[in-house]
Chains A and B, each alone.
Chain A
Amino acid sequence: MKKIEAIIREEKLECVKRVLEENSYFGMTVSEVSGRGRQKGLSLQWRVGEYRVDFLPKLKIEVVVLDEDVSKILHAIANSARIDEMGDGKIFVVPLDNAVRIRTGEDGDNAI
């Protein structure tokens, strides 16, 4: 099993959630995060003049998938979260040792 961490635009959450559902992945964790990439922030207004905000608000989606689904899910997320501009985000794939469903105590792939 692998954990997929996708940093995406806030407005793309619904699209990504839909394609994950289409691929039968219903569980996920979403956090509000701040980050920067090549887009390098944006400028906001002070009382006069502007100041640069280095870190932009993004959403991080964490979803754990079976090994055989990894490449399918990666492409599904990338295709649904893309608008083809700087700031689209990144996806990281992280190896995972184990998982446990707390209610039943099942572990391994059954817990996903």
Chain B
Amino acid sequence: MSVNAADTAWLLISAALVMLMTPGVALFYGGMVRRKSVLSTITMSFAALAVVALIWVLYGYSLSFAPDIAGIIGGLDWVGLRQVGQTPSSVYASTVPHLAFMIFQAMFAIITVALITGAVVERMKFSAILVFSVLWLTVVYCPVAHWVWGSGSWMARLGVLDFAGGIVVHISAGVSALVLASLVGPRKGFREKEPMEPNNIPMVALGAGLLWFGWFGFNAGSALTSGGLASSAFVTTNISAAAAAFTWMMLSWRQQRPSLLGTATGAIAGLAAITPAAGFVPPLSGIPIGIVAALICYYCMLFRMKRGIDESLDVWAVHGMGGTWGALATGIFASAAINSAGANGLILGNALQLAKQFAGVASVWAFAFIATWILGKVIDVTIGLRVTRTEETVGLDISQHGERAYGGVLR
């Protein structure tokens, strides 16, 4: 196997684009919390860039992608990047250096951990976040990434399609977020319906913009080559984001006024939903996928609020349910003419693909739910998940990090 320069250039740029999504998530989330916990919220995401990146090269990549054991986990053959060098892997992305594929995948692991933190802002202890990040990456992310993308895994053999991580990233993060938020409990004042005003909506819009931008690396980069398939995934991604942003804008207009917070949220819902489908479906199917994603995520968010669950920044409603819809929609809209490595879906007469997608979705839902619940419980009884009441009242910026975002009498 020889290295293709164009493919390598595109994959390295894509890895850098996906890296930028994590600070994007940090700003997206940071703008939505109260001003006393904005830095803490940003740090929860930013810390993933530091922690997960190290775990990934030490053993995370190996557990996810090294030669398969029993169809459920990668082995230890590639621990510490052993056998991962400048020549292509014989199994994955055969036209780029193995190191390029490895670092591209590293960025996915990082942002997935960062996504979860939106569920527990303003009250989860920073030390507990770090411990959870390491454990969750090891116990949940690596196996799920292996099931979906690892060569020889049970899901790969079954033929479940997930182009860029609707199942691996969005479902696993969304479901785990819901579980973790339930274990940590609601913010003080949440049940009493204290107003929790977003401190900086322009910051949310900036974060959403960076996410949208980075998502081209996420989805089009997942083609792992720089040709037609990458272009198709790129266009499909943009269409879905636009359709969902527009739909959410209309939903908020129907309720009151066309809100920026809603429009930005819609874009993210559309992007999460198109992630598993981007390289398997015709570009224009991004329109129905995006519109339905916005509707599903919008009503799931309302449902979550009605149930009184403080999954604070709706990681489950947006990523979990957006990813779930997208993974199923892949089984509906897929076309083997778009990607010969894919399959036809329901519309082209292959109902079996939808059933396979359902099996993949249900398995990861169940696994992420149970595993995260156990991890959360273990952390709760050992070091504790939550800050003290006083620390929460003061705000996590000062109590956890000794910094504040907006300070001083004199400017």
Contact = CB atoms under 8 A, between A and B. Distances in A.
Nearest to B258: A45
A49 B262 contact: no
A67 interface: no
B298 interface: yes
Contacts of B305: 48-49
Interface in A44-59: 44-54
B378 to A, nearest CB: 32
A53 B195 contact: yes
Contact of A48 (B197, B257, B298): B298
Contact of B195 (A45, A48, A51): A51
Nearest to B32: A47
B262 A47 contact: yes
Interface residues of B, number: 18
Nearest to B298: A48
Contacts of A45: 252, 255-257, 259, 261-262
A52 B195 contact: yes
Contacts of A44: 197
B314 interface: yes
Chain A contact surface mostly: strand
A46 B251 CA distance: 12
B302 A46 contact: no
B262 A50 contact: no
B179 interface: no
A47 B266 CA distance: 9
Contacts of B298: 48
Nearest to B257: A45
A51 B196 contact: yes
Nearest to A53: B195
Interface in B301-331: 301-302, 305, 314
B45 to A, nearest CB: 18
Contacts of A50: 255-256
B261 A46 contact: yes
B303 to A, nearest CB: 10
Contacts of B399: none
Interface string B231-262: 00000000000000000000110011101011
Nearest to B260: A45
B265 A47 contact: yes
Chain B CB count within 10 A is highest, among A45, A46, A51, A52, for A46
A53 B261 contact: no
B47 to A, nearest CB: 25
Contacts of B302: 48-49
Contacts of B262: 45, 47-48
Contacts of B252: 45, 48
A96 to B, nearest CB: 25
Nearest to B306: A49
A43 B193 CA distance: 13
Nearest to A48: B301
Contacts of A46: 198, 261
A55 to B, nearest CB: 9
Nearest to B304: A48
Nearest to A54: B195
Contacts of A43: 256
A49 B302 CA distance: 7
Nearest to B248: A47
B247 to A, nearest CB: 13
Interface of A: 43-54
Interface of B: 195-198, 251-252, 255-257, 259, 261-262, 265, 298, 301-302, 305, 314
Given A45-B255, A47-B262, 5 more contacts: A48-B251, A48-B255, A48-B298, A48-B302, A51-B196
10 contacts: A43-B256, A44-B197, A45-B261, A45-B262, A50-B256, A51-B195, A51-B196, A52-B195, A53-B195, A53-B197
